[in-house]
């Protein structure tokens, strides 16, 4: 019985997100322009700095699960500006759309945190 509990605990520990695991699961387009490369660096910095709670929120936003299940997250870029600018995720396909119109990393981090911490996520089936 004790060994089974240890196995369950080990399996649960494997499911906990880490920056390294999440960053390895991100798939960027094969070719990116300068703006897209900046945003991809912003996302990498955001994930490296994120605590376990924010990594879980990020995974839930992108995959629908707050645990690391080994799913790849495909990133694409949009031209959304002004009030429309926001990160968008599609959990069915583990797909993350990021606007390229951020002037700096603090602006990107602020907006990403606002989305993740809002607790108001609309999940529609189309």
Residue of 70 and 22 predicted with greater confidence: 22
Query: Is there a contact between 47 and 19 (Cβ–Cβ < 8 Å)?
Result: yes
Q: What percent of the chain has pLDDT over 70?
A: 91
124 band by pLDDT with thresholds 50, 70 and 90: low
The structure's pTM equals: 0.86
| pLDDT beyond 60 at 53 | yes
The predicted pLDDT at position 114 comes to 92
The pLDDT, as a whole number, for residue 38 is 95
CATH numbers and ranges of domains, the chain: 17-116 (3.30.2410.10)
Q: Of 55, 54, 123, whose CA–CA distance to 89 is shortest?
A: 123
Whether 119 has a pLDDT exceeding 80, the answer reads: no
The model's pLDDT over 56-112, given as tens digits with 9 standing for 90+, comes to 999 999 998 888 888 899 999 999 888 888 999 998 899 999 999 999 999 999 999
Lowest average pLDDT, out of 37-41, 68-72, 95-99, 117-121, goes to 117-121
């Amino acid at each position: 019985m004790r060994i089974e509990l240890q196995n369950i605990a080990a399996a649960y520990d494997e499911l906990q997100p880490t920056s390294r695991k999440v960053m390895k699961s991100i798939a960027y387009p094969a070719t990116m322009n300068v703006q897209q490369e900046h945003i991809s660096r912003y996302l990498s910095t955001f994930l490296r700095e994120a605590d376990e709670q924010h990594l879980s929120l990020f995974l839930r936003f992108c995959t629908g699960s707050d645990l690391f299940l080994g799913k790849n997250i495909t990133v694409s870029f949009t031209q959304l500006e002004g009030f429309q600018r926001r990160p968008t995720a599609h959990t069915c396909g583990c797909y993350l759309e990021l606007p390229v119109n951020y002037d700096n990393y603090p602006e990107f981090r602020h907006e990403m945190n606002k989305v993740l911490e809002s607790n108001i996520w609309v999940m529609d089936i189309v």
